[in-house]
Amino acid sequence: MVILNKIYTKTGDDGTTGLGTGERRPKFDLRVATYGTVDETNSSLGIARLHVTDKTIDAMLLRIQNDLFDLGADLATPEGDEKPAFEPLRMTQAQVDRIENDIDTLNADLEPLRSFVLPGGTHTAAALHMARTIARRAERMIVELDQEPNEHVNKAGIFFLNRLSDFLFVAARHVNDHGKTDILWVPGENR
């Protein structure tokens, strides 16, 4: 259980932050920026949920928000040569499978697309599209982190972020009256 009695510690005043392992890293470190962007994704989902009226989608988003905290904890505790004094929280394939099932559930009644979708339609869809683009940035960052020498990233976290943006795309279409109020891209329309 996490207990937060004191919110400020002043330990970050030197421009560093502590990882779950106790290691200090600069606040601009790619690992720190990656889990910060995962947190930004989570916050954007909180805004999107303010607009969601579909209880099924809201429950899915709440689960995803919790999973994103798990991912942040996973990223904040990198694997290393030394075994930590505690069992680190790691993303699992079951979390990836669950989001895939949610995508399939929401996508089942959507008409196939004949063009790309412009972000928008309803307030809810626009908020979900914004969260989708932030999730894509988090995905790019986690993949970049995984390519860095001496950095280890749990592959389930990469898979989860990849599926998350797909989920948010399908959820945005779903809340746009099952795709009926999607705004489709018309290539070259304004030439």
Q: Which pTM was predicted?
A: 0.91
Strand, coil or helix: 17: strand
- Which amino acid type is present at position 87? E
* pLDDT on residue 39: 97
pLDDT value at position 126? 97
Cα dist. 166→51, 52, 105, 135 in Å?
19, 18, 13, 10
* Res 81: pLDDT: 65
Can you tell me the distance from the alpha carbon of 24 to that of 11, in angstroms, rounded to the nearest whole number? 10
**Chain centroid to CA 176: how far?**
21
Distance of CA 24 to the CA centre of its chain: 24
pLDDT digits (tens, 9 = 90+) for 84-130: 777 889 999 999 999 999 999 999 999 888 899 999 999 999 999 99
Distance CA 133, CA 125 (A): 12
pLDDT band of residue 4 (cuts 50, 70, 90) is: low
Q: What is the pLDDT of residue 2?
A: 63
pLDDT digits (tens, 9 = 90+) for 131-189: 999 999 999 999 999 999 999 999 999 999 999 999 999 999 999 999 999 999 999 99
Q: Looking at residue 10, what is its pLDDT?
A: 74
- Can you tell me the distance from the alpha carbon of 166 to that of 164, in angstroms, rounded to the nearest whole number? 5
Q: Helices 123-147 and 30-49 sit at what angle, rounded to 10 degrees?
A: 160
Average pLDDT estimate for 61-81: 93
Average pLDDT over residues 70-96: 89
